[in-house]
Structure 1
């Protein structure tokens, strides 16, 4: 066991709510003692977790909120990534022992497209602050992204906007599976083996075309696919368009590493396939 007993999660939305749920299961099983949730909304309920409405502009508040916390997990979304810096500084001052940056949904190390340089810069920032970190390479959230029209996919309503051929292989992992993996690693791997470690997971390695075909077969629904040429994708990517960034990744650089390196830190992981996770997602 890691020996860590107190955890905080910053961000309780798209992914954070699943990680909170898994940590609370570990708490109910007696493996950990405390789960704190840093949230910007007082309307959310997190069961047996201690919820604190956060003020990221107040170092004193953040340091107080993190007092006694050993592991801080950040699941902040794209527009909130900058909050990781004041969080890290407060965490260092509060005595937090391990920081999990919001590197989920991709493998940013050594990459220079889209959000990757930004995420790499925050890991560098943690080194400057002197705060040990662990990160998780998950690939895109397979149970969610294909139901999000803002990303070009709306399989529930029968449409998909695919960049390039759609044949590029991608490492997709469903959010419930990511949460299980993160909670398992943080509560079972010895604390001495966690700093500066990148844990690679994968629910299923499959192309966008493969997902669409599998979804059509499983549901009997025909998906109307719009194809976007890669020159258009590159042009939109140069403008900072996030949908184009996803199309680029899915076509050219979608896996988080060699297949033999996936899930090796938890051989009994057994994640869902993308289609299984889509059918299980009732949201």
Structure 2
């Protein structure tokens, strides 16, 4: 049984809102921390009961005061690798969850909205992990409210709802795959990394290969026993 009893989430955005909803469904205290003029609380469904605090999130003293006032055990936030390193340096335990590509946006990620084709930079033969936002949010709420802290503190959990190669997206969505030599914008780096294997939640960046055991793609999915992980076909209503 988890020893965490109270949670805070910084910004209820695309993924944060479903996480808040999933935690609130478990009847645990949740405080949503948002910046002034933020509309994040407006995104919460009617009936979801949470506390809220509007503060300048760059003001560490103000944020600390909110956490103390609400007796928060766990802060949920989206952090870059540098943020995780800082937590290690100051001795604050952290949990990282590798999710792969958000399943709902897989068509957008491969340029379908503009071209009606799957646009692939590279060979398109590397396996890519993908998980639905609903499953990610539910998993976060589940592990934080049920697992003992020894299983989550300073851990990396790798989940995966489904996986496939970029080249397989064309037949799946009844369209063609177009291989290109270059694409504009920030997606170029992401697509090249994925084509080299880093699109898998089990990818070991240092070793340059797929992990095994607890480091394999989807290895943490078993921590939610009995849960049905949605597939790409289910999310996109493909028969």
TM-score (norm 2): 0.80
Q: Does 1:134 align with 2:95?
A: yes
Partners of 2:114 and 2:170 lie apart in 1 by 11
Find the counterpart in structure 2 of residue 244 from structure 1: 188
Partners of 1:154 and 1:44 lie apart in 2 by 31
Partners of 1:124 and 1:74 lie apart in 2 by 14
Say how many residue pairs are matched.
216
Q: Deviations over 1:156-192 (max 9, x none)?
A: 9724321123222111111101011111111111123
CA shift, 1:155, in A, is 4.8
State which drifts further: 182-191 or 244-253.
244-253
Residue of structure 1 aligned with 2:75, choices 72, 77, 80: 72
TM-score (norm 1): 0.69
- The 4+ residue runs of structure 1 with deviation greater than 6 A are none
Partners of 1:260 and 1:55 lie apart in 2 by 36
Partners of 2:16 and 2:218 lie apart in 1 by 28
Q: Which residues of structure 1 form unaligned runs of 5+?
A: 76-101, 103-118, 217-222
Partners of 1:7 and 1:250 lie apart in 2 by 33
For the residue of structure 2 that corresponds to 1:185, the secondary structure is: helix
Residue of structure 2 aligned with 1:153, choices 99, 111, 133: 111
Give the 3 Å change call, closer, same or farther, for CA 14–260 of structure 1 in structure 2: closer
Give the 3 Å change call, closer, same or farther, for CA 43–188 of structure 1 in structure 2: closer
Residue of structure 1 aligned with 2:121, choices 163, 183, 197: 163
Q: Compute the RMSD of aligned alpha carbons.
A: 2.4
